[in-house]
Structure formats: C-alpha cells, structure tokens
C-alpha cells in the first residue's frame, strides 16, 4: 500500500523507537557544568569578575560541550 510506510534503516530492518541518548556520565558532567555556572554567577555577584570569568568559561566552553558530546 502506498500510504502505509515503515521506517527502515540502511540494513533494511524496521526502525526501533529512539531511546534516551544521554547516559549517566553525560548527566553527571552536565550537572557539574550547571554547578560551575552557578558558582561563576555567584562569584560575579560577590565582586570577583576575573574568577567568575574563568568559572563561566569552564562551564560554558568546556563542560557543557563535553557533557553533550560524550
């Protein structure tokens, strides 16, 4: 029937439903990124902009990408 299509992978089998792709390691790293970001913003509010900048760069530019990529 032309209207009833099933998704097929490159091997020809029917596609399974997508599973959650983030593992516990990813979630741990993302939680660490959130904690570092909170610490960075609290440090910025306390009046230490240089230390806050380091924490925010680590959170946004290192931990978040690693947490998503691994």
Q: Kindly report, residue by residue over 24-53, the tens digit of the pLDDT.
A: 899 999 999 999 999 999 999 999 999 999
Does residue 65 surpass a pLDDT of 60? yes
Does residue 8 surpass a pLDDT of 60? no
Confidence of residue 23 (pLDDT cuts 50, 70, 90): confident
Q: CB atoms < 10 A from the CB of 37, how many?
A: 17
Note the pLDDT of residue 4.
56
**Quick one: tokens of 55?**
């924490």
Contact 11, 19 (CB under 8 A): no
């Amino acid at each position: 029937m032309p209207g009833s299509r099933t998704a097929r992978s490159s091997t020809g089998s029917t596609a399974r439903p997508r599973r959650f792709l983030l593992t516990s390691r990813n979630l741990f790293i993302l939680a660490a990124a959130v904690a570092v970001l909170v610490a960075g913003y609290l440090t910025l509010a306390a009046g230490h902009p240089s230390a806050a900048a380091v924490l925010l760069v680590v959170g946004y530019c290192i931990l978040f990408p690693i947490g998503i990529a691994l």
